[in-house]
Structure 1
Amino acid sequence: MDVLGDVLAAMRVGRPYAGRTKCWAPWGVQFPANNSACCHVVLQGTCHLIPPHGAPLTLGVGDVLFTAPGHGHVLADRPGSPLIDFRPARDDASLITELNIPGPGAATEMLCVCYSFDDIRTHPLLANLPPTVHLPARAGHHSALRATVDLIGDELQCPRVGTEAILAPLVDMLLLYVLRAWVNEQSGHTATGWAAALTDPAIATALHHIHQRPEHSWTVEELATRAGVSRAAFAKRFTTVVGQPPLAYLTWWRMTTAARLLRGTDALLPTVAERSGYGSEYAFAKAFKREYGIPPGRYRRQRQTNW
């Protein structure tokens, strides 16, 4: 089980937005601080990221910018340009849209993809992300990411038979490649939080087993054995890096798994309980209500209606 991919799949809601944006100076687009994460890639020209605080960041051709959920930001040709709110007008059944801002000045073209995440129960990995991740264009770096950008750009520039079906996995791949690049750049002795968790051999092994078999009756000792370290060292390291003790994270992930099954499948409640590590429907319902505030049946009805 790939933990990074599993977390993103569990937290994603709704359909992503993907489009090519072409703007002529002066222009500016304000992205709200909501439950969306965005990937922006500059295809032509230059622009500036204007954060709520701090100095603007210049983005050039080939630069990739990721913005985490909950962090608003502004992209503009320069500080002080007039702004419009990002409100993509598209058919809800379509993945593709376009944004064009006319003007007399130089043109900037970008590839923009936005993903919505569950803001009711944010995974600590997403909460641990920095507000922005900037991956400058550098020859020989992130070749898989660059290839994915090229494929998405080609499909958006000239939609044809099969474009929607092709884009769906490509936009997911883009997000994974960006976050993988962030994890890799954070790896080493200075890595903290989930960047460290995903690259620490012992912690990553334990997370792998928890995500692969959340229904198993894991103990700290068994997870430590799988990770190849002592029980005491494992428990301390896991709690420090992940932010929760091993069994607390196991329970958290079980409830996340249950919610995912409730809103995304028609599995019966006993099946959801079993796959979430509970021996009885009653014990599961009690734990679920304690975590989410409502019984699992009502959660299913509300979330399948709204999502």
Structure 2
Amino acid sequence: MDAISSAIAALRVGRGTVRRFRQSGAWGLNYSGLSGSGFHVVLRGTGWLLTADVPPVELGPGDIVLITSGADHALASEPRPLRNLPAVDLGPAEPDPGPADFELLCGAYRLAPGRYVHPFLAALPDPIVVPSSGRLDSVIGLLDEEQAAGLVVDATRHALLDLMLARALRRWLDTADWSDPTDPEITAALQTIDTSPETRWTVRELSRRAGLSRATFTRRFAAAVGRTPTAYLLAHRLDQAARLLVETDSTLSTIARRTGYSTEFALAGAFRREYGIAPGAYRRKHR
């Protein structure tokens, strides 16, 4: 599994949302205080991407804004301070029909408080602007049409969100003058965990595979990821379990085996401590 696939798979523990916005006159949409990753695609008109630390960026039809780690940002009809714009309403209401000066399609995986995006996404700039190229028009059109028709069930929504994020990220990585700041040995260790969460990894074994002493590996892992190897492994396994609960009909004992737990009772106890809810109740709530 490559880094992009691992990162996007980890996002699916969040709630996938798609919404279209139509704006006219003087307008502004402030996306602040959110957690997760997503994108905005300009469908019609021009607007400005606003952040706290970077000069405003003008956007036109086909331009994509990637939000890799939930950075505070806004879109507006003209440059203005971010703090002066009202928070966007992320409810399910559809915009008024009819023409508008500016039309925008937004998609995201919104993570619950306390959940973190994958370290690969956290290492990228945030936000990222991917200029219009036409290469993603078919994906954008399909996502927009099905969303507008009310046909986007969870499975379809997640598949299209995954495809959109993966292709936009790949296009940016192929063209950007960006130097990857990640630690290659730690990146390899993350790949190992992401690919085989069911394996009973120890810090000693992971550090041996990375070619580092245990102390050096632990220090560099924590610096790169923000958590110890053990904490990351635990969180990744439970995020994987949460996804399997929602996306499959697998029994709890099967999910336990796929995520490195000896019994379903061990998984249930760890899951309840992490998510504050029993696995069965989590499945019913999110399905």
TM-score range, shorter chain: 0.7 to 0.9
* Partner residue, 1:272: 255
Task: Decide which of 207, 229, 233 is 1:246's aligned counterpart.
Answer: 229
Q: 1:69 to 1:56 in 2, by over 3 A?
A: same
8 Å contact from structure 2 (residues 42, 59) kept in 1: yes
What per-residue deviation string (whole Å, max 9, x for no partner) do you get for residues 234-270 of structure 1? 4443333223333332222222222333344343333
* Partner residue, 1:57: 57
SS of aligned partner of 2:48: strand
* Partner residue, 2:76: 76
Matched, 1:212 2:200: no
**Higher normalized contact order (CA 8 Å, seq sep 6+, divided by chain length):** 2
What per-residue deviation string (whole Å, max 9, x for no partner) do you get for residues 193-249 of structure 1? xxx15xx2x33332222122212122344334544x233554443333223333332
Task: Decide which of 125, 132, 151 is 2:127's aligned counterpart.
Answer: 132
* Partner residue, 1:94: none
Q: 1:206 to 1:147 in 2, by over 3 A?
A: same
* Percent of residue pairs identical: 33
Task: Decide which of 106, 111, 129 is 1:112's aligned counterpart.
Answer: 106
Structure 2 matches for 1:1-307, cutoff 5 A? 1-12=1-12, 13-19=14-20, 21-31=21-31, 33-35=33-35, 37-51=37-51, 55-68=55-68, 70-79=70-79, 85-87=88-90, 89=92, 107-125=101-119, 131-136=126-131, 146-148=134-136, 150-155=137-142, 169-180=159-170, 185=176, 188=179, 191-192=180-181, 196=182, 200=184, 202-227=185-210, 229-232=211-214, 234-294=217-277, 298-307=278-287
Distance in 2 between residues matched to 1:164 and 1:286, nearest whole Å: 34
Supply the AA of the counterpart residue of 1:76: A
Distance in 1 between residues matched to 2:205 and 2:42, nearest whole Å: 47
Distance in 2 between residues matched to 1:167 and 1:286, nearest whole Å: 31
Supply the AA of the counterpart residue of 1:231: S
Question: 1:275: Cα distance to partner?
Answer: 2.1
Question: 1:171: Cα distance to partner?
Answer: 3.2
Distance in 1 between residues matched to 2:124 and 2:275, nearest whole Å: 24
SS of aligned partner of 1:277: coil
Supply the AA of the counterpart residue of 1:33: G
Distance in 2 between residues matched to 1:157 and 1:284, nearest whole Å: 38
Q: 1:51 to 1:9 in 2, by over 3 A?
A: same
8 Å contact from structure 1 (residues 261, 272) kept in 2: yes
Matched positions, count:
276
Distance in 1 between residues matched to 2:157 and 2:246, nearest whole Å: 24
8 Å contact from structure 2 (residues 16, 157) kept in 1: no
Q: Mark the runs of 5 or more structure 1 residues left unpaired by the alignment.
A: 91-96, 138-142
* Partner residue, 1:140: none
Distance in 2 between residues matched to 1:174 and 1:215, nearest whole Å: 28
SS of aligned partner of 1:238: helix
Supply the RMSD in Å over aligned alpha carbons: 4.0
Distance in 1 between residues matched to 2:159 and 2:280, nearest whole Å: 26
8 Å contact from structure 1 (residues 35, 117) kept in 2: yes
Q: 1:243 to 1:158 in 2, by over 3 A?
A: closer
TM-score normalised over the length of structure 2: 0.72
What per-residue deviation string (whole Å, max 9, x for no partner) do you get for residues 88-123 of structure 1? 655xxxxxx6666867xxx34444333333434334
TM-score normalised over the length of structure 1: 0.68
Supply the AA of the counterpart residue of 1:304: R
